[in-house]
Amino acid sequence: MFANFKPGTLTSLGFSYDVLHAFNPRIVLAGSSAFGNRGPWSTRMGYGPLVRAATGVTRVWTSDEAQPDNSRHPFYDATTIFPDHVVGRVGALLALAALIHRDRTGGGAHVHISQAEVVVNQLDTMFVAEAARATDVAEIHPDTSVHAVYPCAGDDEWCVISIRSDDEWRRATSVFGQPELANDPRFGASRSRVANRSELVAAVSAWTSTRTPVQAAGALQAAGVAAGPMHRPSDILEDPQLIERNLFRDMVHPLIARPLPAETGPAPFRHIPQAPQRPAPLPGQDSVQICRKLLGMTADETERLINERVMFGPAVTA
């Protein structure tokens, strides 16, 4: 059983873990809330954007290059909710661990995770880097790479290129057809490239702007230089790598006229068949089956609960 409520909500509904465990000692309850079920913050309600802000992700993912007139959105996660994605996956893994525990011991389990703690753990590399910088450790080997986003041919098309060493810069200049830039005093050494970053970006942009993102990134990758095209959400469905791995399949939803693409699962198994592709159940869709098969209730008892609005019944679809 999954629950995604503020702590105390299930108890107020009469479905605390103790009650559920008394009914079925093998039940597994996997809960998730903004700040966990213990501590001073446990009673606070919270959704993805609030968790994102409380953990510092909003600040970390805010661009310092945002324009005062908001012509460029300052926040990188404006259209998706990062905590929802990562917490859902971690929660599923914890539920599976509890089910394995049940298979081994015969007993159920109650798992409850703090969404904020899960998100904070995704920032571990940044915490280590900041701690090292505070003790001057980071200054021993400063990053002298030049990472930048470059304009490409077309309307609002871009690619990302990272020049991490003198050798990579020499290879990149060969791709650009300008090998003389390898010995240019402004760009020949790592520190010089960092100091003259704006001029370097302008020089590289002159080359990328005449090519599509895929063309520019492909040419550099072939030369051993880290590069990648910018993709929009619609491009994902046409990506050759994802098509080959069958990451998306069309799924039929009762409330949507046309099939929609949905993830099949990131880890295909060799001897385990692929799970059926189906949407989340509608409210009340499985109420009758649960009451009849799991609770042993009669048809009259089930219908009475639906009529009295104690629970949802299956929706009638046209």
For residue 17, CA distances in Å to 39, 108, 223, 297 come to 18, 10, 58, 22
Q: Is residue 218 very low, low, confident or very high in pLDDT (cuts 50, 70, 90)?
A: very high
pLDDT at 316: 57
Contact yes or no for 119/86 (Cβ under 8 A): yes
Mean pLDDT calculated for residue range 160-174:
95
Q: Which CATH architecture group holds 2-127?
A: 3-Layer(aba) Sandwich (3.40)
Q: Is residue 318 very low, low, confident or very high in pLDDT (cuts 50, 70, 90)?
A: very low
Mean pLDDT calculated for residue range 166-174:
95
Mean pLDDT calculated for residue range 298-306:
94
> Of the residues 69, 77, 84, 300, which is catalytic?
84
Residue 84 falls in the annotated catalytic set: yes
148-230: CATH topology is formyl-coa transferase, domain 3 (3.30.1540)
Residues 30 and 280: their CA atoms lie apart, in Å, by 17
Q: Where are the domains of the chain?
A: 2-127, 148-230, 281-318
Q: 148-230: same fold as 2-127?
A: no
Q: Residue 140 pLDDT more than 50?
A: no
Residues 6+ apart with CB under 8 A from 302: 287, 288, 291, 292
CB atoms under 10 Å from CB of 302, counted, come to 19
Distance of CA 310 to the CA centre of its chain: 36
pLDDT at 118: 93
- Digit-coded pLDDT (tens) for 45-66: 888 888 988 888 888 877 766 5
